[in-house]
Amino acid sequence: MKNWLKILAVALLFYVHVAGLLFDVPRLNILNETVRAIYFHVPMWFGMVLLFLLSFYHAILFLRNPTPGLDRISVQYANVGLVFGLLGMLTGMLWANYTWGSPWHGDPKQNGAAIALLVYMAYFVLRGSIENEEQKARLSAVYNIFAFVAMIPLIFIIPRLQDSLHPGSGGNPGFNAYDLDNRMRAIFYPAVVSWFLIGVWIANLRIRYKTLEEKNMELYNEKF
C-alpha cells in the first residue's frame, strides 16, 4: 500500500471526526444529536462490504490461479471486514437502543446483517477445520464466493422488501430524503473512504505479517 494513501486516510479520518462533531446537522425529531452517528456507524458497514468485495475478488483470482499468496490476501480482507461488521453491529445496537427503544428489534436489516456476519464467521470455522493447506485454500475460496453472494440479498435486498425501521429499507427512504442532505454528504463520503482505506491498510499489515510467518516456516523447515 502506498504511503500517500495511508496519509490521505489519516487526514480524512481527522477531518471526519472534527467536522462530524462540529459541523451543522439537520434538526430532526427522535434522532436529535444522534444523527451524527451516521458518520461513524454507516462507514463501518460500507467498509465491511468493500473489504468483503476485495476478499471475494481475490478468492476468484485464487481459483483461477491457485497460489498461497492470493489465499492469504483473501483471508485477511475477510478478517478485517468481519471486524468492521462487528463494530457496525455494536454501534447500530447502541444507536437503536436510544432511537428505536431497544438494542435488538428483529428488524429485517438487523437480522440480515447478523446472518451475513454468521455466514462469514462460518468461513473461518471452515478454514480452521481443514488440515491440508491446499484443500483449505481451495474450499474456503469457493465458500467465500458463496458467502459474498449470500450477503448481498441479506443486507441489500430482503430488508427493502419488508417493513423496517432502518433507513434505506422497507418504505423508508435511504440517505436521500431526510437524513443525509448535502452538508452531511460532505462528511459521510470522506468517512467511508477513510475507514475503507484504514481497513485496507490493516489488512495489508496482516498479509505482510502472515507472509513473513510463512517465509520463516520455510527457513525453519530448510534447517531441520
Partner 1 sequence: MKNFNKYILAIGLMFLTEFSSAQSPEMADTFRAEGKIYVVVAIILIVLSGLVAYLFMLDRKLTRLERMMDEKPQTK
Name the amino acid, one letter, at 24: D
Residue 101 touches partner 1, criterion: CB under 8 A: no
In the bound complex, what is the minimum distance in angstroms from residue 29's beta carbon to partner 1?
Answer: 5
- Specify the residue, 25 or 155, whose C-beta has the smaller distance to partner 1: 25
Q: Which range in 61-69, 103-111, 112-120, 205-213 contacts partner 1 by CB under 8 A?
A: 205-213
Q: Which range in 63-71, 96-104, 172-180, 215-223 contacts partner 1 by CB under 8 A?
A: 215-223
Tell me, what DSSP letter sits at residue 65? S
Among 29, 65, 132, 182, which residue sits at the site for partner 1 (rule: CB under 8 A)? Answer: 29
Distance CA 35, CA 70 (A): 40
Among 18, 122, 125, 186, which residue sits at the site for partner 1 (rule: CB under 8 A)? Answer: 18
Q: Residue 200: name the closest of 46, 77, 45, 58 by CA.
A: 77
Residue 27 touches partner 1, criterion: CB under 8 A: yes
- Specify the residue, 125 or 217, whose C-beta has the smaller distance to partner 1: 217
Among 8, 17, 99, 142, which residue sits at the site for partner 1 (rule: CB under 8 A)? Answer: 17
CB 39 within 8 A of CB 15: no
Residue 134 touches partner 1, criterion: CB under 8 A: no
- Specify the residue, 113 or 192, whose C-beta has the smaller distance to partner 1: 192
Report CA 129 to chain centroid distance, whole Å.
24
Tell me, what DSSP letter sits at residue 154? I
Tell me, what DSSP letter sits at residue 168? T
Going by C-beta distance under 8 Å and a sequence separation of 6 or more, which residues neighbour residue 90?
none
| Total interface residues for partner 1 by CB under 8 A | 24
Cell numbers for 105 = 428489534
Tell me, what DSSP letter sits at residue 37? G
Name the amino acid, one letter, at 17: H
Cell numbers for 176 = 436521500
In the bound complex, what is the minimum distance in angstroms from residue 132's beta carbon to partner 1?
Answer: 26
Interacting residues toward partner 1 by CB under 8 A: 6, 10, 13-14, 17-18, 21-22, 27-33, 201-202, 205, 208-209, 212, 215-216, 219
